[in-house]
Chain A
Amino acid sequence: MLSPALELKNVVKYFHDIKALDEVCLKIAPGSIHGIIGENGAGKSTLLKVAYGLINPEHGQVFVDGVKVNIENPQHAIDSGIGMLHQTTSWLEHYSIIDNILLGEYNGFFMSRKKAKARQELAQLCREFGFSFQLDMSMSQLDYSERQLVDILRSLYRGAKVLILDEPMALLSPLQSNHLLDLLELLKMQGISILIVAHKLSILHHICDVISVMAHGKLVDNINPKEISLGYLSKLMVGREITLPHPNNVVSDVDSSLRLKVSNLGIKQKSRLGTSRQSFSLSDIDFQVNSHEIVALTGLAKAGHEDLLAVLAGSKPFTHGRITVNGTRFKPSKQYDLKHARELGIAYVPDPLTGEGIVGDFPLYETAILGHHSTSFSTNVLHQKRHRQKQCQDMMREWDIRPNNPMLNTGALSGGNQQKLVLAREVSKAPQLLLMAHPSNGLDVGAIESVYQRLFKLRDSGASIIFCSNDLDEIMSLSDRVILFERGQIIGQYYSQQLSKNDLSLMLANEVVDA
């Protein structure tokens, strides 16, 4: 029998006194796609980081092709043929793709000769796997999904036999996501093993050969997705069946009132030196949002929907048009900022990848008041700290944020639990208008369901919710209305009830054809 491409044995890792990984054993067969699922904070990301040497466990061994290897840092992992894709890789923006890939590889004096050889190898890999970019293109010309492909190419060039991916589809449009999945299949065909963590069960169910289920730091089950249904898979993970799309019972015949009116809004970009041409990152944005309504903003990367959300939140200035919130009209000026927007009853959940919404080094009870801290300080010294801790603990219990200890550092929580904390903080303020960027990014299916229930409740109580997302399931489940963006403009508004997932996917795909 072939020895596994990658094997982790008896891995134990503590964070403070919490057991993040408890005697985890994992075997990845050569040339297979191996998925890991589990609730937020189950230890999935920690396990991947152990395999790539980003975290050193207290116990445990790693075997590659049956040979024990010592992986203490990512360089060891790369040398052993393990590559990992990161959500937030930093690139040298103004250098070419090939320079970015070879970064850190130049050792020795005669780099040009090595570069010529590397270029050949890379060109060969590009042909083999169908990467469409030119090696001399500047990194700044690439969008997020293309950068991800460059990252994969880099791993392949370094001789990765096992590729680790943590939530690779989180920021991709459906089309890009499909493209990535095709590539993974191709890699698998070439004998490369893939270890993937994702919250989209349907995708994992579709592409994986084996799926491991993790819960509370333990690996509880290995299953063959061909033998079980998708519904059963979600049941395995959260202990109950989850139906998709989530039932959204729209309450009709409520007196809805105008909450937000945006007219002619635009952002003129500062022109670069030497060019007199004006460019707009957003232009002619006109739409209204009523109370009792959830509106989704979507589009491809850099279509402008994310910028618009930041503008509405007061995080980004606008240069043209008007924003009217509850009857108060705002012109482009410094007056409309985050602080002001909050006073108007607007709450904002920023993109979890930016880390804006939290302070990693603060204890949770201090992160839990970020942005709303103006009202949280009183002169009563002893009472206020305990009061804040108690409030935070109650909120964490209500939203199932684990571990339930407000004294922990925010950075010690898993990404999903951090996101839940931000959602909890903003939703619990009962805002009149809630703005969210990629709200369910990093949340497991169980958490998503309970978050949606709260959002529906918030809407039914009269609030308006606007969110931007690339996730079709999320848009179909959560929104009452969808607004489509392309190149900084609105290209269509639809009622979600009258739309199928397929229609939406086609509309997004058509943009590409048109462009």
Chain B
Amino acid sequence: MHNKSLPWLNSIVLTLANIGLALLASVIVLSLTGVDIGAAISQIYHGAFGTQEGRGYTLYYATNFIFSGLGVALAWHAGLFNIGGEGQATLGGLGVAIICIQLDGLSLWLLIPASMLFCALFGAIWAFIPAWLNAYRSSNIVITTIMLNLIASSFLVYLLAGALKAPGQMAAVSESLSAASALPSMQSVMAFLGFNIVSTPLNISFLWALVCSAGLYYYLWYTKLGYETRVVGHSDESAHYAGIRSKRIVIITMMISGALIGFIGLNEVQGNSLQLNVDFVAGFGFAGIAVALMGRNNPLGIVIASILFGALYQGGSELAFNEESIGNNVIFLIQGLVVLFCGALQWMLKPTINYWLRPMEVTKEDKLPVR
């Protein structure tokens, strides 16, 4: 509806301009805190891309962003605003931890599919609740998903303080998964292929995230269900006309969305920490909204946006570590500004961009012989 008569060139320029504005605003806020901007930017860049270790961390964080971005984008295509990523990721992690502890000692070839399945299943079930309430009881999915975030987090605390609490530990953490059940790290994958890289938390979840991105692209534009999802997202009347059962689509879409976001738990728990703790999701579920907005709900765009976010996350931590005056909050600042400029003010620059790009088109037309 919004982008009528907006050619694709304009829409790409518009996206880039919005991202630029968000980054510019971040720079202004940072400079107000008295930071040397040039140095800060170079520290962020160096921290994210300067070293092999930095690059590993960047991609490790990007993995989480891809999963949550894909989940938010898929729901968006069906006209649903899934802001329950935190809860779905929490449940995904819970599923992974439970299956890894229960099946400890199983061959990795069997354990990985099992943990992936449980991860997806737990995330999907958590998304099923608001989906069902929305489809059959007309509840507002924004409110239910955000409330289920709080419930999920309390539920996790309850389990970590009770049933899942590691014996002999004061902290609310689960018992550690055995090292044998960890996902293969990228270091070992590369070593298998004959390359030598340093050890980082980056693991095969990253490859799985890329597979999911390709899969989601295929799903949305090359399958019947994906087509129906997009029809439902555009118009209820057209969906009714086409004989699409919208309720069914809402539930399927939300469950796949929850499953995708649940995979954050795979990357975090089985890929890195090998332990379930209270706040392992750490805002990645929410960040999916910013990622999906920046990537224009397109899987390829989401991968690119995720790498940018991963870099900001890694570079930002590096900056926060080195500079006394800057906390980790700088990442949330940038995220917030991206949501503001790429989401809330998405069309703000449209008239300006159309105006600036117009002379080009007219002159091109003028060169043609008239009549």
The verdict on A16 contacting B241 (CB below 8 Å), with A360-B234, A361-B1 known, is no
The verdict on A362 contacting B234 (CB below 8 Å), with A15-B5, A377-B227 known, is yes
Contact B222 A381 (CB under 8 A): yes
Residue of A nearest to B227 (CB): A373
Contact A359 B5 (CB under 8 A): no
Give the one of B223, B227, B243, B365 with max A CB within 10 A. B243
Which B residues are in CB contact (< 8 Å) with A338?
Answer: 240-243
Q: Is the C-beta of B362 less than 8 angstroms from some C-beta in chain A?
A: yes
Give bound CA distance, A348 to B262, whole Å. Answer: 42
Give bound CA distance, A338 to B237, whole Å. Answer: 12
Contact A409 B4 (CB under 8 A): yes
User: Contact size class for A?
Assistant: 35 or more
Which B residues are in CB contact (< 8 Å) with A385?
Answer: 221-222
Give bound CA distance, A371 to B238, whole Å. Answer: 9
Contact A359 B222 (CB under 8 A): no
Within 8 A of A (CB), among B1-25: 1, 4-5, 7
Contact A373 B362 (CB under 8 A): no
Q: Is the C-beta of B228 less than 8 angstroms from some C-beta in chain A?
A: yes
Give bound CA distance, A199 to B358, whole Å. Answer: 34
- 13 pairs, CB–CB < 8 Å, chain A vs chain B: A315-B240, A338-B240, A339-B243, A356-B238, A360-B1, A361-B234, A362-B231, A370-B241, A371-B241, A371-B243, A377-B222, A377-B223, A381-B218
Binary contact readout A399-413 vs B (1 if CB under 8 angstroms, 0 otherwise): 000000000010110
User: Contact size class for B?
Assistant: 20 to 34
Beyond known contacts A338-B241, A354-B237, A377-B223: 17 more, CB 8 A cutoff: A14-B361, A16-B5, A16-B7, A58-B362, A337-B243, A356-B235, A356-B237, A361-B234, A369-B227, A370-B238, A373-B224, A373-B228, A373-B242, A374-B224, A377-B227, A384-B222, A412-B4
Contact B241 A411 (CB under 8 A): no
Which A residues are in CB contact (< 8 Å) with B224?
Answer: 373-374, 376-377
Q: Is the C-beta of A342 less than 8 angstroms from some C-beta in chain B?
A: yes
Q: Is the C-beta of A366 less than 8 angstroms from some C-beta in chain B?
A: yes
Which B residues are in CB contact (< 8 Å) with A362?
Answer: 230-231, 234
Which B residues are in CB contact (< 8 Å) with A359?
Answer: 230-231, 234-235, 238
Binary contact readout A408-437 vs B (1 if CB under 8 angstroms, 0 otherwise): 010110000000000000000000000000
Q: Point out the residue from B221, B242, B358, B361 that lies within 8 Å of A370, measured CB to CB.
A: B242
Give bound CA distance, A337 to B240, whole Å. Answer: 10
Q: Is the C-beta of A41 less than 8 angstroms from some C-beta in chain B?
A: no
Which B residues are in CB contact (< 8 Å) with A358?
Answer: 238
Residue of A nearest to B243 (CB): A339
Q: Is the C-beta of A355 less than 8 angstroms from some C-beta in chain B?
A: yes
Contact A366 B243 (CB under 8 A): no
Give bound CA distance, A359 to B237, whole Å. Answer: 9
Q: Is the C-beta of A357 less than 8 angstroms from some C-beta in chain B?
A: yes
Residues on B facing A (Cβ under 8 Å): 1, 4-5, 7, 218, 221-224, 227-228, 230-231, 234-235, 237-238, 240-243, 358, 361-362, 365
Give bound CA distance, A15 to B228, whole Å. Answer: 28
Give bound CA distance, A41 to B222, whole Å. Answer: 31
Main secondary structure of the interface of B (DSSP, over half): helix
Which A residues are in CB contact (< 8 Å) with B241?
Answer: 315, 338, 348, 350, 356-357, 370-371
Contact B228 A356 (CB under 8 A): no
Contact A356 B240 (CB under 8 A): yes
Which B residues are in CB contact (< 8 Å) with A58?
Answer: 358, 362
Residue of A nearest to B231 (CB): A359
Chain B: minimal CB distance from A11 (Å): 15
Residue of A nearest to B364 (CB): A17
Chain A: minimal CB distance from B363 (Å): 12
Give bound CA distance, A356 to B236, whole Å. Answer: 9
Give bound CA distance, A362 to B229, whole Å. Answer: 12
Q: Point out the residue from A342, A348, A355, A377 that lies within 8 Å of B235, measured CB to CB.
A: A355
Which A residues are in CB contact (< 8 Å) with B227?
Answer: 366, 369, 373, 377
Binary contact readout A39-73 vs B (1 if CB under 8 angstroms, 0 otherwise): 00000000000000000001000000000000000
Residue of A nearest to B230 (CB): A362
Which A residues are in CB contact (< 8 Å) with B218?
Answer: 381
Chain A: minimal CB distance from B219 (Å): 11
Nearest 10 CB-CB pairs, A to B? A339-B243, A338-B243, A356-B241, A371-B242, A356-B237, A377-B224, A359-B234, A359-B238, A370-B242, A373-B227
Give bound CA distance, A350 to B237, whole Å. Answer: 11
Binary contact readout A365-390 vs B (1 if CB under 8 angstroms, 0 otherwise): 01001110110110001001100000
Chain B: minimal CB distance from A364 (Å): 14
Residue of A nearest to B242 (CB): A371
Give bound CA distance, A381 to B222, whole Å. Answer: 7
Give bound CA distance, A348 to B218, whole Å. Answer: 30
Which B residues are in CB contact (< 8 Å) with A370?
Answer: 231, 238, 241-242
Give bound CA distance, A15 to B234, whole Å. Answer: 22
Give bound CA distance, A342 to B244, whole Å. Answer: 12
Chain A: minimal CB distance from B329 (Å): 38
Binary contact readout A329-357 vs B (1 if CB under 8 angstroms, 0 otherwise): 00000000111001000001010001111
Give bound CA distance, A359 to B244, whole Å. Answer: 13
Contact A355 B361 (CB under 8 A): no
Which A residues are in CB contact (< 8 Å) with B362?
Answer: 58
Contact A412 B5 (CB under 8 A): yes
Which A residues are in CB contact (< 8 Å) with B1?
Answer: 360-361
Give bound CA distance, A356 to B228, whole Å. Answer: 14
Residue of B nearest to A338 (CB): B243
Give bound CA distance, A270 to B268, whole Å. Answer: 54
Which A residues are in CB contact (< 8 Å) with B361?
Answer: 14, 17
Chain B: minimal CB distance from A54 (Å): 12
Residue of A nearest to B222 (CB): A381
The verdict on A411 contacting B243 (CB below 8 Å), with A58-B362, A355-B235, A359-B234 known, is no
Give bound CA distance, A360 to B223, whole Å. Answer: 20
Chain B: minimal CB distance from A217 (Å): 13
Give the one of A358, A370, A385 with max B CB within 10 A. A370
